[in-house]
Amino acid sequence: MNLGTTFVQDTFAEAFAMAYARILVTAYDQHWLDAAVREATGYSSSVIACDAETGLERSFGEQETPDGRLGASLLMFGFTDEALEKSVSKRVGQCIMTCPTTAVFDGLDSAERRIALGKHLRFFGDGYQKSKRVEDRRFWRIPVMDGEFLVQDTIGISSGVGGGNIILQTTDQAAGLAAARRAVEAIAGIDGAITPFPGGVARSGSKVGSRYKGLVASTSDPFCPTLRGRVESELHPDAHCAYEIVVDGVSPAAVSQAMTAAMRAAAGPDVLMIAAGNYGGKLGKFHFHLRELLSGTS
């Protein structure tokens, strides 16, 4: 199968079940909102070493948020509810509560499961924090140096999907960068999906295990152009660059939509092949077959 001049390999991306939370952050203006988003989504590319995989889902206008200010929804993914609760509390406490003017609301009010958020952070108020109930939702007002930090007591979590992916193989680095940016920009317009790596792109794709004891993952050598002749390469013969776009989503449908949009946007004359990373179907619950996604049969 081809997308124009780009060959689409007959393969699949293997992804995993993860828990996710959606928080809605608001702030005084775009500058402080952007600052909070950057901090809260930092160091979160992969749970191989990070405490969570996070990213900006979408932005909100003043008419769409509970407090009438500019806002943004962030998705945060973890392998267990317990790990996610710890990660979200730390990220909100260290990266958002510290940012001037911010407030945090739950983005999954109707979720079946809930984890504590303000319930943990309230202790920073050192006894001066105040509880506030709005309809059936409880908030904490924590005194800070520019007024109060408003944060919801608990937030909902649901089951999502982590690790959907495509691997772009291009003639050179410039073509790869351009294609990767097209792919990430296409995903940015889809609700329920994020690309957690830097700029949405991973150049250091990984495989399970290593020749070094204790290392759970190591470089995906079949896709490294400098290792041709030393390993069994999976690169197109004319490819000198490969970039992986990893997608986390709130559902298999969201990941499917994001991967499909990314492939269609990335394809072009210097994009020789689109592949995907998997583990032979033995580890991940979800399998996204590239050709089925493009033909609409998945």
> What does the mean pLDDT of the chain come to?
96
Average pLDDT score over residue span 123-138 = 94
Residue 135 has pLDDT above 70, yes or no: yes
pLDDT of residue 165: 98
pLDDT of residue 111: 86
117 CB burial (10 A radius; 0-12, 13-18, 19+): buried
At 112, is the pLDDT very low, low, confident or very high (cuts 50, 70, 90)? confident
Residue 282 has pLDDT above 90, yes or no: no
Q: Which residues contact 282 (CB under 8 A, 6 or more apart)?
A: none
| Whether pLDDT at 149 is above 80 | yes
Summarize the confidence of residues 64-82 as an average pLDDT: 97
HSE-up of residue 21 (Cα within 13 Å, Cβ side): 31
Question: Phi/psi at 125 (nearest 5 deg)?
Answer: -70, -10
pLDDT at 86: 97
Question: With contact defined as beta carbons under 8 Å apart, do 287 and 25 qualify?
Answer: no
Domain with CATH 3.30.70.520 in the chain: 2-15+161-295, 17-158
Per-residue pLDDT, averaged over 116-131, amounts to 97
Mean per-residue pLDDT, 216-240: 94
User: Which pLDDT value is given to residue 4?
Assistant: 92
> In this structure, what are the phi and psi dihedrals at residue 27, rounded to the nearest 5 degrees?
-155, 170
At residue 280, the pLDDT reads 84
2-15+161-295: in CATH 3.40.1440.60: no
- Out of 3.90.1150.10, 3.30.70.520, 3.40.50.10610, 1.20.1440.230, select the CATH number for domain 17-158: 3.30.70.520
Name the token pair of 286. 């979800």
C-alpha Rg value of the chain to the nearest Å: 21
Torsion angle in degrees (nearest 10) through CA of 141, 143, 144, 147: 80
User: What band does 189 get if pLDDT is binned at 50, 70 and 90?
Assistant: confident
pLDDT band at 298 (very low <50, low <70, confident <90, very high): low
What pLDDT is stored for residue 240 in this prediction?
97
pLDDT over threshold 80, residue 198: yes
CB atoms under 10 Å from CB of 136, counted, come to 6
pLDDT at 31: 98
Whether pLDDT at 6 is above 90: yes
* Predicted TM-score (pTM) of this structure: 0.94
Residue 285 has pLDDT above 80, yes or no: yes
What is each CA distance from 211 to 207, 215, 282, in whole angstroms?
A: 11, 8, 20
Question: Between the CA of residue 245 and those of 10, 135, 146, 259, what are the distances in Å?
Answer: 17, 41, 40, 9
